[in-house]
């Protein structure tokens, strides 16, 4: 392994993490992926496994790292902490594991960063803004989160992870940054992960009812995964990102009912759009303000929702 360019990616077998591993390997970095496969899949890493600069460790990062693992991480220069169930369906199936990986897990990884002197990136989420009272959401907004609701295992543990990252950045002078990822989609999202794009596209392809929750007027803004990964790379390797909190997302905003109509039209599906109960605490609107990412990272998304959906539809059709 090329020690000076060794990256640790937690959650690297997941949707975003696997694309990040591929991108890092393509850019000449060595990659150690640590994942316990709770929501990820080794198939996502089939290209990575062909690369001699790639190592996979099956480990739960909420647990203390064993001696063998720590030895392998000795030469890590960059830590990308992405491990966490991320879809609403997943984190409601694993609420305790989700709370732990973003709190204790983050602390464990910050300890590794402190011991190795590695640069650290915490993958946080737009969910820290909760059901926002400010629109679009800027990094300066403190959020409106229900601390005891069904999404709290995710939202509050991400908020804890952000806080812990900043404690290490300030107290131990760790070189650390936080990215707040907004809804991201693309190939390798599990078709059963319950997210709106995977649900609607697969339902439309199969001619099943397309499920819109509530009256469908709630909004989300969708970023294609390759754009997001470019933003993650910039956040880690760009200058002047130490101590920064940066939104990463595509401001292209849709009402869910309009998204369903768009997908139905693109697939030329005969599926009927049906309305189901709105889940508790479902945020009413969400759109990133990416002015900071544009300035600090010189980054903005390039893939339109139409183009990204075409690629995603082609991916699900190919399965």
What is the enclosing helix (H) or strand (E) of 77?
A: none
Which of 65, 170, 154, 48 is closest to 115 using CA atoms?
Answer: 65
* Interaction pattern, residues 24-53, with ligand NAD; x per rule: CB under 6 A: ----------xxxxxxx-------------
Catalytically annotated residue among 154, 185, 224, 254: 154
Q: By CB under 6 A, is residue 212 in contact with ligand UDP?
A: yes
Name the binder of 244 from ligand NAD, ligand UDP, none, CB < 5-8 A by kind.
Answer: none
| DSSP annotation string for 106-131 | HHHHHHHHHHHT-EEEEEEEGGGGBS
Q: By CB under 6 A, is residue 163 in contact with ligand NAD?
A: no
* Interaction pattern, residues 214-233, with ligand UDP; x per rule: CB under 6 A: ----x-x-------------
Name the binder of 40 from ligand UDP, ligand NAD, none, CB < 5-8 A by kind.
Answer: ligand NAD
Residues 72-91 touching ligand UDP, rule: CB under 6 A, are 87-88
Residues 128-187 touching ligand UDP, rule: CB under 6 A, are 183
* Interaction pattern, residues 218-257, with ligand NAD; x per rule: CB under 6 A: ----------------------------------------
Contact 154, 123 (CB under 8 A): no
**How large is the angle between the packed helices 95-102 and 104-116, nearest 10 degrees?**
30
Q: Which stretch binds ligand UDP (CB under 6 A): 32-40, 141-149, 206-214, 303-311?
A: 206-214
Q: What is the DSSP letter of 82?
A: -
What residues does 81 pair with on adjacent strands?
A: 10, 122
Distances 151 to 89, 93, 179, 283 between C-alpha atoms, Å = 10, 11, 19, 10
Residue 257, φ and ψ in degrees, nearest 5: -70, -35
Which of 149, 293, 282, 302 is closest to 235 using CA atoms?
Answer: 293
**Nearer Cβ to ligand NAD (269/316):** 316
Q: By CB under 6 A, is residue 16 in contact with ligand UDP?
A: no
**Nearer Cβ to ligand UDP (214/243):** 214
Q: By CB under 6 A, is residue 285 in contact with ligand UDP?
A: no
Contact 20, 12 (CB under 8 A): yes
- Which of left, alpha, beta for 117 (phi over 0: left; psi -120 to 50: alpha)? left
154 is catalytic: yes
| Residue bearing tokens 């897990």 | 105
Contact 124, 181 (CB under 8 A): yes
Residues 72-91 touching ligand NAD, rule: CB under 6 A, are 82-86, 90
Residues contacting ligand NAD: total by CB under 6 A: 30
Q: By CB under 6 A, is residue 211 in contact with ligand UDP?
A: yes
Distances 190 to 40, 201, 233, 297, 311 between C-alpha atoms, Å = 9, 12, 24, 30, 15
Q: How far is the CB of 99 from ligand UDP (least distance, A)?
A: 16
* Interaction pattern, residues 118-147, with ligand NAD; x per rule: CB under 6 A: -----x-x----------------------
Any idea which residues carry the catalytic annotation?
154
Applying CB under 6 A, the residues found at the interface with ligand NAD are 10-11, 13-17, 34-40, 60-62, 82-86, 90, 101, 105, 123, 125, 181, 183-184
Applying CB under 6 A, the residues found at the interface with ligand UDP are 87-88, 183, 195-196, 199, 211-213, 218, 220, 256, 279, 282
């Amino acid at each position: 392994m090329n020690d000076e360019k060794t990256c640790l990616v937690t959650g690297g077998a997941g949707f975003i993490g696997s694309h990040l591993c591929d991108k890092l390997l393509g850019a000449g970095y060595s990659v150690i992926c640590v994942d316990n496969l709770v929501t990820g899949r080794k198939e996502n890493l089939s290209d990575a496994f062909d690369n001699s600069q790639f190592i996979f460790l099956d480990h739960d990062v909420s647990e203390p790292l064993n001696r063998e693992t720590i030895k392998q991480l000795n030469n890590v220069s960059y830590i990308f902490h992405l491990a966490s169930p991320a879809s609403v369906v997943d984190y409601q199936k694993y609420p305790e594991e989700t709370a732990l990986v973003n709190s204790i897990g983050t602390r464990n990884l910050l300890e590794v960063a402190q011991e190795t002197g590695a640069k650290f990136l915490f993958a946080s989420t737009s969910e820290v803004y909760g059901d926002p009272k400010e629109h679009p959401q800027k990094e300066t907004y403190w959020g409106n989160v229900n601390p005891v609701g069904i999404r709290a295992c995710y939202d509050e543990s991400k908020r804890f992870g952000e806080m812990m990252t900043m404690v290490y950045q300030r107290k131990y002078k760790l070189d650390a940054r936080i990215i707040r990822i907004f809804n991201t989609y693309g190939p390798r999202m599990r078709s059963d992960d319950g997210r709106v794009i995977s649900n609607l596209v697969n339902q439309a392809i199969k001619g099943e009812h397309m499920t819109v929750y509530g009256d469908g007027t709630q909004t989300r803004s969708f970023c294609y995964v390759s754009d997001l990964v470019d933003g993650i790379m910039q956040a880690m390797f760009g200058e002047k990102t130490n101590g920064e909190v940066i939104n990463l997302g595509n401001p292209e905003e849709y009402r869910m009912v309009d998204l369903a109509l768009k997908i139905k039209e693109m697939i030329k599906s005969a599926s009927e759009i049906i309305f189901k109960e709105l889940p508790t605490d479902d945020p009413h609107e969400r759109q990133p303000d990416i002015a900071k990412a544009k300035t600090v990272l010189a980054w903005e998304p390039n893939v339109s929702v139409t183009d990204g959906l075409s690629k995603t539809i082609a991916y699900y059709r190919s399965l």
